[in-house]
Amino acid sequence: MSPSEPGPRIGYVLKMYPRFSETFIVNELLAHQAAGVDLEIFSLRPPRDGRFHENLAQVRAPVTYLADRLRRTPDLWDLLGTATAELPGLERHLRELLAADVHDAAQAVELALLVRAREIDHLHAHFASVATTVARLASLLAGVPYTFTAHAKDIFHEEVDPDDLGRKLAEAAAVVTVSEFNVEHLRWTYGAAAAGVHRVYNGLDLDRFAYSSPSRRPPLIAGVGRLVEKKGFADLVDACAVLAGRGRRFRCEIVGAGPEQEALRRRVAASGLEDIVRLRGPLPQDEVRSLVTGAAVLAAPCVVGTDGNRDGLPTVLLEAMALGTPCVATPVTGIPEVVRHERTGLLVPEHDAEALAGALERLLDDAALRERLALAARALIEDEFDVHRQAARLRRHFAGVAVAPVPVADEVCA
């Protein structure tokens, strides 16, 4: 394909767009946009949250919201009638459709019709769950390839259907996932079906994350993420209780919302930490960035949940490391690939409040250690987590071709 020829039209299939917690998807879309990719977004659900990050307004790709679960029976029959006439693959794949959830099947038919009408050449889904279910069925009906990015819950949660995931892995034109840990897990678990899984890290627009030295920052510990079990914030509260018991003077601010919010609030109160630990709720991205930039340390004490759920590689770790904020984390899934113990951050065991408190104390006390770890962390982020390089890698897996010419610098560094 010559540079003068238009590249393929790529349809992104997302469960919900936009979603406040999925900044990595917006980063990826903007990187594709900067490279001149012809994009269209298909969302299976309307957004339920009025909070949006400021860079969302920069995304120019059109967004189509597929009919949700309130589809009436007459509308469903009309949809099938249209599809019978316009999708030659419908009858051949009828058994697949009948085996699927009726709402997923209907959305797949609608998406396939849109793919044909809008001349979409390739579908890419984020998360191996419902978005990939719909993308896979639509690809069969419309005769276009699909790829998907697997993250964490869609791989590790106890509700994941191994047969379903194995089928998706085997049939996709390519599969990417966000850490080497995930690659090894999928290949070990699914064998030949996962032989073609590749690692593509989530990336950052480094122009938006300027490094600043952490050497003179106040004794502030930051925690950022959804208030769910896998983030380990209960352990962070317990570690703060340990530090307070030692007479340490510090503050801890936890940003995010989720089902564990009230339980965490009660834990803070029971430990007598109301004047030390503050639950901030969800904040816009610029306010999160300001908080993390002003913190002496970011704590990400992630754990494997009782339901098997866990983080893949939290974006907030990448952001903190880019900003110059030293990180304490746990060796869960892909985290050690970026938080390299004593080199780019500190690692402690899961559910070990004493060890977590000790690591936090080291960083609060030692400005030289903060500076050394932060400089090495920023260098690593620049080398391996630049969103433009990662998006270029992803494009090479879209049906095995690059969507747009990749700059020479990216080819050398990728």
What token pair was written down for 379?
Answer: 């260098």
pLDDT, position 51: 60
Taking domain 9-203+387-413, whether its CATH number is 3.40.50.2000 is answered by yes
List the chain domain ranges: 9-203+387-413, 206-384
pLDDT value of residue 400: 65
Here the tokens at position 321 are 């490391």
Q: Measured between alpha carbons, how far is 216 from 240 in angstroms, rounded to an integer? A: 21
Residue 254: burial class (beta carbons within 10 Å; 0-12, 13-18, 19+): buried
Q: What's the confidence (pLDDT) of residue 293?
A: 98
Say yes or no: do domains 9-203+387-413 and 206-384 share a fold. Answer: yes
- In tens, the pLDDT along 396-410 reads 998 564 333 333 334
- What 3-state class would DSSP assign to 150? strand
DSSP 90-153: TTTTHHHHHHS-HHHHHHHHHHHHHHHHTT--EEEEESTTHHHHHHHHHHHHHT--EEEEE-SH
Q: Which residue has the tokens 């039209």?
A: 9
Helix (H, G, I), strand (E, B) or coil at 410: helix
* Whole-number pLDDT of residue 108: 96
pLDDT of amino acid 412: 32
Number of H helices, E strands in the chain: 16, 13
What homologous superfamily does CATH list for 206-384?
Glycogen Phosphorylase B; (3.40.50.2000)
Cβ atoms of residues 239 and 360 within 8 Å: yes
pLDDT digits 0-9 by tens, 376-390: 999 999 999 999 999
Output the pLDDT for position 196: 87
- Residue 341 DSSP one-character state: B
Low-confidence residues of the chain, pLDDT below 70? 1-6, 50-53, 70, 399-414
SS3 assignment, position 400: coil
Please give the model's pTM, rounded to 2 decimal places: 0.89
d(CA 400, CA 394) in angstroms, rounded, equals: 10
Of residues 244, 389, 384, the one with CA closest to residue 317? 384
pLDDT (0 to 100) of residue 50: 63
**Could you tell me if 200 and 397 are in contact, meaning their C-beta atoms sit under 8 angstroms apart?**
yes
